Chain A
Amino acid sequence: NAGVTQTPKFRILKIGQSMTLQCAQDMNHNYMYWYRQDPGMGLKLIYYSVGAGITDKGEVPNGYNVSRSTTEDFPLRLELAAPSQTSVYFCASSYDTSGELFFGEGSRLTVL
């Protein structure tokens, strides 16, 4: 059982470049989330999805986009990378709204 799989694990971008962080889960969870983690700041919710075809903004959505065409996949798109988007990004999924999340291993993004 792979759980939540994120790719890539590391990436360096130049300012203005775009990229997509991939996230897939094999637990048939309806709920999926993208968080960013900055040092000492905990985790901030970027976007979330309650099921295929449904997405909604979290606390810090600016500069990001998401899509949810299947239950399994929830990619996060950065269109014009900025240094402020340097962070570690975590994808997570859950079976319900209990708060019990399963996290991926993270993707460390550096924008120079």
Chain B
Amino acid sequence: GQQLNQSPQSMFIQEGEDVSMNCTSSSIFNTWLWYKQDPGEGPVLLIALYKAGELTSNGRLTAQFGITRKDSFLNISASIPSDVGIYFCAGLHPNAGNMLTFGGGTRLMVKP
């Protein structure tokens, strides 16, 4: 099956810093999505990307659908303590129907 390699696995940053994480694959994907999971909760959708090269923002979050369709990145600007959580990338492969493939997650910790 398809695999998504997400990096870094964890980050410990100072409040106010910018954050960047990415997701790569050897396969192409038609859709890239970024979810955030707060401790003890289910994942919540942050950003969805449907077109190669697409750059989309949601407040302090910006994500891009790589032009090769094999990668995506998520940036968070001016981090705040409530940004703490696990960020997952997910992709829809052309041959996978409606089955999402998830990356292993990036655990973000923010020091006030």
A positions within 8 Å CB-CB of B:
4, 31, 35, 40-45, 48, 50, 58-59, 90, 92, 94, 97-106
**Partner pick for A42 among B50, B97, B104, CB 8 A cutoff:** B104
A104, B4: Cα distance in complex, Å: 23
Assess the B42–A104 pair: CB atoms within 8 A: yes
- Given known pairs A92-B42, A99-B48, A100-B33, the reply for A43 and B102 (CB within 8 Å) is yes
Inter-chain CA distance A102–B41, complex, in Å, is 12
Whether the Cβ atoms of A106 and B42 lie closer than 8 Å is: yes
Count of chain A to chain B residue pairs whose CB atoms are closer than 8 Å in the complex? 62
| Interface magnitude class on chain B | 20 to 34
Residues of B within 8 Å of A92, CB to CB, are 42
Q: Which residue of B lies closest to A41 (CB)?
A: B104
Chain A hits for B35, CB < 8 A: 101
Q: Are B88 and A101 closer than 8 Å at their CB atoms?
A: no
Chain B residues with CB below 8 A from A100, complex form: 33, 45, 48
Q: Is the Cβ of B99 less than 8 Å from the Cβ of A45?
A: yes
Given contacts A59-B99, A94-B98, A99-B48, 12 further A-B pairs with CB under 8 A are: A40-B104, A42-B103, A43-B43, A45-B99, A48-B98, A50-B98, A99-B100, A101-B100, A102-B45, A103-B42, A104-B42, A105-B40
Contact of A40 among B4, B41, B43, B105 (CB under 8 A): B105
> Which of chain B's residues has its CB closest to A44's CB?
B102
Q: Is B44 an interface residue (CB 8 A)?
A: yes
Binary per-residue interface labels of chain B (80-112) against chain A in the complex, 1 for a CB within 8 Å, 0 otherwise: 000000001011100001111011110000000
Q: Is the CB of B102 within 8 A of A42?
A: yes
Q: What's the minimum C-beta distance from B67 to chain A, rounded to whole angstroms? A: 20
